[in-house]
Amino acid sequence: MVNVVVTDKNFKEEVLDASVPVLVDFWAEWCSPCRIVGPIVEELSNEYAGKLKVGKLNVDENGQTAQNFGIMSIPSLLIFKNGQVVKTMIGAQSKDSFKREIDSVLGS
């Protein structure tokens, strides 16, 4: 299960101030590719438990944060480490593709 629902209000606390890397899935209810990626994000959350915090941010409900990070296309998955974006993945991709990107961040 996804660790946290990220909002404009809790973004700093849940993501920027997190002690572990954080994967944030920027999505919207009406977005078909987002519905494809959603279950993959859930699986990744379980597989990387304890190593990676995973959150979902609904761009329709939290537009300020999406705008702050220049989210123009969804789904966009950003990985934050020490409060900084270290990886950006845009669009529906395979689970293996996401895992490669996550592993590259966790390994560094």
Q: Are strands 22-27 and 53-58 parallel, antiparallel or unpaired?
A: parallel
Question: Is 82 strand, coil or helix?
Answer: coil
H-helix or E-strand containing 5?
A: strand 4-5
DSSP secondary structure letters along 15-62: IIT-SS-EEEEEE-TT-HHHHHHHHHHHHHHHHTTTT-EEEEEETTT-
Catalytic residue among 22, 31, 41, 54: 31
Known catalytic residue: 34? yes
Catalytic residue among 4, 6, 34, 102: 34
Known catalytic residue: 10? no
Torsion, CA 50, CA 19, CA 74, CA 95, rounded to 10 = -30
Catalytic residues: 31, 34
